[in-house]
A and B are shown apart, each in its own frame.
Chain A
Amino acid sequence: MQEAERSAELEVSRWDLAIVGDCLDDRGKAASGFLSQPGTLVVSLKYDEENFTFDANGATYNADDIGFFFEQFKGKGIVLEATTLGFVEILLSCRILKDLGFATFSLLYVEPGDYSSPNRSQVLLKRDFSLSEEVPGYKAIPGATVMLRDRVQQKGVFFLGYEARRLDRALEDFQMIQPSNCCVVFGVPAFRPGWEMDAFANNIRVLRDKRISGGIHYCGAENPAAAYDVLSQVYSELGPGEKMFIAPLGTKPNGIGAALFISTHPNVRVLYDHPKRKSGRSSNVSRWHLYEVET
């Protein structure tokens, strides 16, 4: 894992293929710009949760057939631009890269300078962040869909961020989830000191009202490896016959950790709500992270 204040400080290898998503804010533009180098093919990848398809530079593939897209790049150097890609694109890519036998691949992530909150000046609303436009709701992801049942012990691991309504809705829509068997993970240390308070304060009502009591974990907001470790720990403590699902509602690096964990643990499933990220959801650019993955 590399961390740098500026992109120029990263030690990078040459990538043949850069997979990027929509550039919605300053850091997204900076990250995509950084990867637009001579010799690197930049492909824009976008998942459609309604139709279980993804679009790669205008060509539509079925999510179940994502291998057809990546197969053509076997043996090439690949980087996933995680700042702009959504969780599902990262998950499907990580999993297929592992399945296709790619020995390594990279993930780039750029921290925001600040998140968009229209109400910072107001005491009552200062923790309201404006990160998602519309949240279509929890929908299946082929290959990682959990069958929630109240007759079966299922351990839920919820990575939490600023938008508490996402956790609230998961427990509202799927009342077969047993809150007593769910744990939460906060990104601590946060990207910046103090930001963790926003995540705590925003989620505390839901945690209390829904009586989530399966444990609280912490892992660095910018650290996929720490997220992976937390998941490994929870996984190792599962009871006989107990299933596990992950709801990656927290930071992107934690989502990367979850995606990598699911790629290596095919029996672990995902619960995800596919938020439509808002344009201008953050401003400015902070630290750069480059994660090298060996499969």
Chain B
Amino acid sequence: MNESDRFRSILSKNRAEELGYDVWEHYVIPPFFKRLDLHTARKPNLIIGGRGCGKTMLLRYLSHQSMFSSSRPFIPESAFSNIGLYWRADTQFASAMMKREVPEDTWRAAFNHMLALVLGIEVLSSLDSVAVSNTTLISRKDMMDCNFERLSAFSADLPSSATKLRDDLERRLWEFESWVNDVRKAKEPSFLPGDKFVLALIKEVRSQLKMFRNTTYHVYIDEYENLCVYQQEIINTWLKHSESPLIFNVAMKRHAFDTRRTMGVEALSDIHDFRVHDLEEYFQDEKLEPFFAEILFLPIESAGLKDTPISVETLHDPEGLEQRRNSTYIKKVVDAAENLLPDVSSDELAKIVFLDRVLLQKLRERIQSGLNHKESNLRVDEFIKDQFPSASIVIPALLHRKSEDPAEILSQLNSLGRSKENRFTGKTNWIHNNFVACLLQLYEPHSRACPFYAGFHTFCQLSRGNIRHFLELCHKSIYRAISAGESSFETVTIAYQAEAARQASGAFLGEIRSFGRLGNQLHTFVLRLGSLFALAHQRPTQSESEQSHFSIGSGKTDLSATDQEFLKEAVKWSVLFESRGTKIKNEFEPENIEYVLNPIYAPYFHISYRKKRKLELSTDDAKCLIGGSYDDVRLLLRRYANAWAVEPGDMSPTLFSHLESGV
């Protein structure tokens, strides 16, 4: 395998599921890790986050397979204090455990039994993990000598040795599967009492193994939201009554905590019964760049492909966080990422336009169009300033604005050239406020990818805390460079990065169809919303530039419960992000929720990924985008195109064709 092939192979896995249970070597402790306080807290934790934010990876890191990984060179004594058990339910199997004319209490007992078996196997597997780890604090023999005879109180034929007990629980699990499949004819198993059985097993371990004397087992239930309601209620009951040595924790997507009921009279209450950790919120609070750079470099450094500033050992260890907060280190690691994936400044973006014959000609045409619009006799050449390409790029938008006079714009441009006070910079700052929108407009009808989407910092913003999206953007960029023969891994050219961003964006857009029950509808909605934003970006005046989020105001018809449910589903799957409205005009109005389209879709639609200006939709328009017919959406787009004075010719035919024909 040559260096390029090795690189491809090493970077190919970017999901926790592909890495297995032992993620010790692959995990980078996130900067907010200590806020999670997972090990010292004696309360259950509710971990919330969208796809790709690292939930599963975190839970697997906390589980015994990683904590007692054979790759971990030294196992501290503290590792025995808290041992994690990871469980992800097979929800289609769990869905078979309801109805079918079987009494509800039988199903509840059956679900308890299944958890007793699954978690019992996990507790016994944790002994195996310890046995094969590098710990010297306990011997394999000690663990194999454990005697679980006392558990026979639950079922007389439970074996007493650890290995045989685990085999027996496995056998009972398959027997259970057969019974669930054939509840009429198969003999009902003798059900084990869920948490009581697991607790008894843990107590046996604690009493017989000195190193486990103070161990608390933490169960991490992934994708809790996919369980049936009565199953969630059973888990909720366990959450409510969690205490050492068995504490339950759950992880789920946003807006997925549908029931707080328990099997008892008291429901779960946030403050008393659990602590909420919103991983995406934590990501927003932290400076992401150093962490993302470390994630990017970890597989490269581990494989010895390239010298990077990271120290692999410190990344896996929470104690390494302090060292990683050192400003010199942060600068080094971010600089290295910037070198690999250079960002493009506004000035550079503008220069690229001036160096490109086709784009420059397009700019000239747009300026001429603006001058014609104002019936001005000024020459285009006067507005093309090689020294100030950014200023020239925003000219077409200014010329289309009613309030601006071409001669005055030219005068301001000349003032800029003479370093005098001017409106291109300073307070008015035309360049700052309009450059990105005008640049995207220049690229829009072209098939080439826009360099605006290139760069390490840009990739961080496009990812918005989604590690999988970030890695895909980086890896696709690097693959392109490798494929083109650039195998030094020193710098990936801007064009490859931009093309990779566009490609990744399209691929992630296609994935939406697989997002749950409403996947198809979510996919159609994003196509419609993205097209509307793309249309907004084509406004000649750029008076409301870079619209990539929206709020829903009033209209003839209120949003129905189904529409609200749909928006919740969009947030749950991180297709949209919710944020509190920032600009409330009337203090008596209820607080407005703003919806931000996931920035990863921006390169596909050729729109800005920055949260700048909001598009206010009426409820009628929102309903149309959510569930309107194709004809309705076509009319809506046409109405907005007229209102924004966008000529049909300005719209990319490939982008809007799906709406025309009704995908």
**What residues make up the interface of A, taking CB atoms closer than 8 Å to B?**
51-52, 62-65, 118-119, 121-122, 124-125, 128, 134-140, 142-151, 165, 168-169, 172-176, 205, 209, 211, 269, 271
Contact = CB atoms under 8 A, between A and B. Distances in A.
Instruction: Count chain A CB atoms within 10 A of each CB in B17, B56, B174, B654 and give the residue with the most.
Output: B17
Contacts of A128: 663
Contact of B516 (A51, A124, A137): A137
A174 B90 CA distance: 7
B95 A125 contact: no
8 contacts: A52-B96, A122-B658, A124-B654, A135-B519, A146-B93, A147-B177, A168-B513, A172-B511
Contacts of B100: 52, 62-64, 142
Contact of A176 (B88, B173, B174, B515): B88
B663 A145 contact: no
A172 to B, nearest CB: 5
Given A125-B658, A175-B17, A175-B88, A139 B95 contact: yes
Nearest to B184: A64
Dominant secondary structure at the A interface = loop
Interface in B307-361: none
Contacts of B517: 134-137
A68 B180 CA distance: 20
A48 B89 CA distance: 23
Contacts of B56: 175
Given A118-B661, A125-B663, A165 B514 contact: yes
Given A148-B93, A165-B520, 19 more contacts: A64-B100, A119-B663, A122-B661, A125-B657, A134-B517, A138-B91, A142-B181, A144-B181, A146-B90, A149-B90, A150-B21, A150-B88, A168-B513, A173-B92, A175-B88, A209-B507, A211-B12, A269-B181, A271-B92
Interface in B493-523: 507, 510-511, 513-517, 519-520
Nearest to B516: A137
B184 A65 contact: yes
Contacts of B121: 151
B173 A134 contact: no
A176 B87 CA distance: 10
Contacts of A172: 511, 514-515
Nearest to A167: B514
Contacts of A143: 181-182
B652 to A, nearest CB: 12
A136 to B, nearest CB: 6
A165 B519 contact: yes
A149 B181 CA distance: 16
Nearest to A62: B101
Contacts of A211: 12, 18
B520 A118 contact: no
Contact of A140 (B88, B96, B226, B511): B96
B662 interface: yes
A165 B513 contact: yes
A13 to B, nearest CB: 32
Contacts of A118: 661-663
Contacts of B91: 138, 173
Interface in B604-663: 654, 657-658, 661-663
Contacts of A205: 507, 510
A157 B455 CA distance: 41
B168 to A, nearest CB: 15
Contacts of B88: 150, 175-176
Contacts of A124: 654, 657
B542 to A, nearest CB: 28
A169 B15 CA distance: 15
B99 interface: yes
B211 interface: no
B183 interface: yes
B657 to A, nearest CB: 6
A144 B515 CA distance: 25
Q: Identify the interface centre among B17, B18, B92, B96: most chain A CB within 10 Å of its CB.
A: B92
A148 B101 contact: no
A116 to B, nearest CB: 12
A243 to B, nearest CB: 9
Contacts of B101: 62, 64-65
Contacts of A165: 513-514, 519-520
Contacts of A148: 90, 92-93
B180 A145 contact: yes
Nearest to A137: B517
B633 to A, nearest CB: 14
Interface string B223-266: 00010000000000000000000000000000000000000000
A172 B515 CA distance: 8
A140 B663 contact: no
Interface string B177-214: 10011111000000000000000000000000000000
Given A64-B183, A122-B657, A138 B92 contact: yes
Nearest to B56: A175
Contacts of A144: 181
A203 to B, nearest CB: 12
A52 B658 contact: no
A16 to B, nearest CB: 27
Contacts of B173: 147, 149
Contacts of A121: 661
Contacts of A62: 100-101
B23 to A, nearest CB: 13
Interface in B78-93: 88, 90-93
B92 A139 contact: yes
A277 to B, nearest CB: 14
A124 B21 CA distance: 39
A90 to B, nearest CB: 18
Nearest to A206: B514
Interface string B416-449: 0000000000000000000000000000000000
Contact of A134 (B174, B226, B520): B520
A142 B121 CA distance: 26
Interface in B556-600: none
A168 B516 contact: no
B658 A140 contact: no
Contact of A135 (B93, B183, B520): B520
